[in-house]
Structure 1
Amino acid sequence: MSRINYFIEKSIHRVIILILGIILTSCAGAMPNSSWPNASLDKNKLLVSNNQAMYAISADNGQLLWQFPNQADKIRSQFYSPPAYDSKHIYVASDTKNLFALDKNTGNEIWSFDGTNDKSGTAPSYVTTNSTIVLFASAQMLYAIDNITGNLVWEFESEEDLWSAPLATDSNIYISSMDHTITSIDASTGLEEWNTNLNSSIADQPIILEDTLFTGSLSDNVYAIDLSTGKIKWNFETNGWVWGSPKAIDDQLIFGDLEGYVYSLNTENGKNLWTSQKLDSPSIGTPAYADGTIFVCTDGGFLYSINSSNGKTIWSIELDTKNADRILADPLIYSNAVYVISMSGENLVYSIDQSNGQIIWAMDLD
Structure 2
Amino acid sequence: MGASSYGTVKLTALSPGAGCACKLPLSKLEGLFASLGSAGLEAASGDLLIGAAEGDDAAVLRLDDERALILTTDFFTPIVDDPYDWGRIAATNALSDVYAMGGRPLMAVNLAAWPGDALPVEMLADVMRGGADAARAGGCFVVGGHTISDPVPKYGMAVVGLAHPDRLLAIDQVTAGCRLVLTKAIGTGVVSTGVKRGMASSESVAAAVASMTTLNAVASEVALAAGVKAATDVTGFGLLGHLHRMMRASGLAAEIHAASVPLLPGAVELVAAGFVPGGTNANISHLADFVTIGSGVSDELGVLMHDAQTSGGLLLAIEDDPDDLLNELRDRGVPAALVGSASHGEPGRVTVV
TM-score range (shorter-chain normalised) is under 0.3
Greater helix content? 2
Scaled by the length of structure 1, the TM-score of the pair is: 0.25
Which structure shows the bigger proportion of residues in strand conformation? 1
If the length of structure 2 is used for normalisation, what is the TM-score? Answer: 0.25
Larger RCO (alpha carbons 8 Å, 6+ apart): 2
